[in-house]
Amino acid sequence: MSTSPTNLSTTLEAFLDSQDFKASVFSSTRGKRQQTRYLVELAPDGVYRVLEEGQIGNIAEVPSHVFLEIPTLEDKELVRWNGTEETYFNHIFTAKQADLANQLRNQLRQTFL
């Protein structure tokens, strides 16, 4: 079965429009501190899952699926923030949401080059 870039792009856009996108970026940012990566698995049937790198099995078993690394937020200024980690992440995510989404779109494009 060949994977259609259009189907996977539609799946990615559904993920980007969901609250899962924001939550996964927060998880990925926290995970970065422990050298843990988070990925989104895109399936051509429109299903996506966010996984910690260690949860990914044998990707050869699902050749029609694509795995993209979830981007992280820059959190160096968190120590200077007069609020919680959550409010800091919300502030930065709002400012960078389009760039973060484009990072994932570019990863998907690279998959089909």
E strand spans, 26-69? 38-42, 48-52, 66-69
Query: Cα–Cα distance between 37 and 24 in angstroms, integer?
Result: 10
Of 81, 55, 83, 84, residue with least CA distance to 67: 55
What SS3 state is found at 93?
Answer: helix
Write down the pLDDT at residue 103: 98
- Alpha-carbon torsion, ordered 104, 54, 113, 6, to 10 deg: -60
The average pLDDT across 35-54 equals 93
Write down the pLDDT at residue 4: 63
Report pTM.
Answer: 0.87
